[in-house]
Amino acid sequence: PSQRDPLEFLNRARSVNKKRTINERRADFDEIYVEKPSDELSEQASRCLDCGNPYCEWKCPLHNYIPNWLELVRKEQFDQAAKLMHETNPLPEICGRVCPQDRLCEKACTLNTGFGAVTIGAIEKNISDRALAKKWRPDLSNLEMSDKKVAIVGAGPAGLGCAELLARNGVKPVVFDKYPEIGGLLTFGIPGFKLEKEVVRKRREFLEDIGVEFRLNTEVGKQVSVQSLKDDYDSLFLAMGCYKSVTGNLPGGETEGVIKALDFLVANVNLQQNYQMTGYPFQSMQGKKVVVLGGGDTAMDCVRSAIRQDAESVTCVYRRDKKSMPGSPQEVKNATEEGVQFLYNRQPLSIEEKNGQVCGVKLAETELQRDFSNDRSNFVVNQDKTSLLEADVVILAFGFQASPASWFDDIGVTQKSNGLVITQSTNDPDLPYLQHTESEGIFAGGDMVRGADLVVTAIAEGRQAAREILDYLNV
C-alpha cells in the first residue's frame, strides 16, 4: 500500500467491527466487538481523504493527529502510529472503546456525508491494543527527572491524563485513590461489555513503567490528610469526579427494590473482579422485571447489565423521545438488539409498593414542545394520561451532581452554588477557563469541574492541568 489513492473511499465501504452473536453477548460481560485483522485496519484507514482541514481533529477534545496516524496505519507502520497516538492521548485504547465517536470525531469526518465516516475509534483502539500487547513503551531514556513531585487525588481519566504528561516531563506523579484499582469510572462504572477490566490493568502497567506511582485504597481526608499532601508535594491536582446521584425525589423512592444506578454497576464489578469492597451488596436481577429510569449512558449500562443477569424483562423509561436521548445512539442500538424495551415520552410520577416492596412505577405521558434555542426539547406532562408499569426492581439513572469534599474549604478550594469547583477564567474563547483553582498551586479537572461528562474531556482537562503545573513548577 505504498501509494495513497485519494478516491479510495469510493472503492471501499466503511466496515465496522463485527459484533458477537446476541446470545453470546447476553450470556457474559465480555466486550461485544470482534477484532479486525491488521490488513483490514489498513484498508479502512486508507479511506481517509486527508482533507486539508481535518474537522475530526478539531472535534476530538484531545485534538488527536487523526489523519497522520491513519496514514501510518494505511502503510502498516503500526508502532509509529501507536507512538503518534500517545503524543496527544494517554489512553487511546480506552477512548477508542468508550468515546461517543458518533457525536465527536466520526461525526465530523468529511465522509460522513453519505459515504460513511472513517472508523476512527475502532482503528485507535486496535492499534493501541496491539502496542500494549507487545509492551510498547515510549523511549524516555534521555529524560532528565526534576526533583519535583505532584500529588494527584483520583485515578480516573483526569488523574491519569495528568499523571502521564507529568511523568513524561520529568515530574514524579503520585496518584491517590480510595478504590482498590485505578480507572475511576472506567473500572467502577463502565461495565465490561464496553471496556474489559483487563484493558485498564494493562494501561496501569504502562503507567507504572513510565514512573507513575499509585497509592490505592487510600482516601484523602481519611487514610491521609490533605494537609500532609500540601506539605509533602510541590503541587496538587484534584480529579475526584462527580458522585452525588440525582434521585428525582420521587414519592416511594426509598422503597425496598429501588437502587441507584452506580450502586448497581459497582456491585457487579465488585463481585466479578472479587474486590471485596464493603457497601456494595450484590442484588441479582435474575427472573425480575427491571425498570430503569433515565436515558443517558449510565441508563444504557444498567439495562444491558440487567439483561446479562437474566432479568425476565428490562424496560428503559425516558421522558423525551428517542432523538432527544443524551446517550450515544450506538449504545441504544446495542441495548435494543440485546432485548431491552424502551418506553419514550413517559415521566415517572411515583414508585408504587406492595408489602414494602416495589411493584411498579406510575407514569404519565409527556408531549414535546420543540425549543429551537436549545438542542433538547421541552415537554409538558399530561397528568390525565397515566399508567402503571409493573416492576420488581427500579434503577434510578438520572445522572450525577457534584460531591465536594468537606476539606475543600481548609485548602481554599472554592465551589459554585452547584458544588462544582471554580477554576481561573480566561478571555480566550477556545480555552474559557484554566485548571488552576483559586488556591495557589492547587489544580482541579474532570467531572468535578465541568460536571458529569466524558472520559475524553476528563483526560483533556488532566493534560491541561499537567501543562499548567509544569509551568507553575518551572520545569
Cα–Cα distance measured from residue 392 to residue 285, given in angstroms and rounded to the nearest whole number = 9
Stretch that binds ligand FAD, among 163-171, 202-210, 334-342, 455-463 (CB under 6 A): 455-463
How many CB atoms are closer than 10 A to CB 147?
A: 10
Stretch that binds ligand FAD, among 16-24, 315-323, 420-428, 453-461 (CB under 6 A): 453-461
Using alpha carbons, select from 171, 193, 160, 186 the residue that is nearest to residue 89: 160
Query: Any idea what the Cα angle at residue 466 is, between residues 473 and 448, rounded to 5°?
Result: 120
| Number of residues located near ligand SF4, criterion CB under 6 A | 15
Cβ closest to ligand SF4, residue 85 vs residue 359: 85
- CA end-to-end span of the chain, whole Å? 43
Task: Cell 488556591: give the residue.
Answer: 439
Stretch that binds ligand SF4, among 3-11, 96-104, 246-254, 342-350 (CB under 6 A): 96-104
User: Minimum distance between the CB of residue 57 and ligand SF4, rounded to whole angstroms?
Assistant: 8
User: Minimum distance between the CB of residue 103 and ligand SF4, rounded to whole angstroms?
Assistant: 9
Contact string (CB under 6 A) for ligand FAD, positions 244-263, x = contact: ------------------x-
Torsion of CA 333, 186, 167, 176, to 10 degrees: 160
Using alpha carbons, select from 292, 264, 248 the residue that is nearest to residue 395: 292
Give the single-character DSSP code of 6. Answer: T
Using alpha carbons, select from 209, 191, 49, 207 the residue that is nearest to residue 118: 49
Contact string (CB under 6 A) for ligand FAD, positions 153-182, x = contact: xxxxxxx----------------xxxx---
| Interaction of residue 99 with ligand SF4, rule CB under 6 A | yes
Stretch that binds ligand SF4, among 28-36, 47-55, 100-108, 274-282 (CB under 6 A): 100-108
Cβ closest to ligand FAD, residue 98 vs residue 470: 98
Stretch that binds ligand FAD, among 33-41, 104-112, 449-457, 463-471 (CB under 6 A): 449-457
Cα–Cα distance measured from residue 224 to residue 447, given in angstroms and rounded to the nearest whole number = 23
Contact 324, 344 (CB under 8 A): no
Contact string (CB under 6 A) for ligand SF4, positions 438-467, x = contact: ------------------x-----------
Question: Using CB under 6 A, which residues numbered 85 to 104 contact ligand FAD?
Answer: 98-99
User: Minimum distance between the CB of residue 407 and ligand FAD, rounded to whole angstroms?
Assistant: 8
Task: Cell 462527580: give the residue.
Answer: 242
Stretch that binds ligand SF4, among 11-19, 88-96, 231-239, 421-429 (CB under 6 A): 88-96
According to CB under 6 A, which one of 48, 120, 122, 391 is a site residue for ligand SF4? Answer: 120
Cβ closest to ligand FAD, residue 271 vs residue 368: 271
According to CB under 6 A, which one of 42, 64, 315, 457 is a site residue for ligand SF4? Answer: 64
According to CB under 6 A, which one of 62, 118, 199, 364 is a site residue for ligand SF4? Answer: 62
The residue type at 408? F
Q: Where are the alpha helices (DSSP H) in 28-112?
A: 38-45, 55-59, 66-74, 78-88, 92-98, 105-108
How many CB atoms are closer than 10 A to CB 399?
A: 20
Residues 6+ apart with CB under 8 A from 140: 168, 210, 211
Cα–Cα distance measured from residue 157 to residue 455, given in angstroms and rounded to the nearest whole number = 6
| Interaction of residue 454 with ligand FAD, rule CB under 6 A | yes
Cβ closest to ligand SF4, residue 32 vs residue 420: 32
Using alpha carbons, select from 101, 95, 125, 112 the residue that is nearest to residue 48: 112
Cα–Cα distance measured from residue 398 to residue 378, given in angstroms and rounded to the nearest whole number = 17
Cα–Cα distance measured from residue 125 to residue 113, given in angstroms and rounded to the nearest whole number = 24
Binding stretches for ligand SF4 (CB under 6 A)? 60, 62, 64, 66, 89, 95-96, 99, 101, 104-105, 120-121, 124, 456
Binding stretches for ligand FAD (CB under 6 A)? 98-99, 153-159, 176-179, 184-185, 189-190, 194, 219-221, 239-241, 262, 265, 297-298, 301, 405, 446-447, 452-456, 458
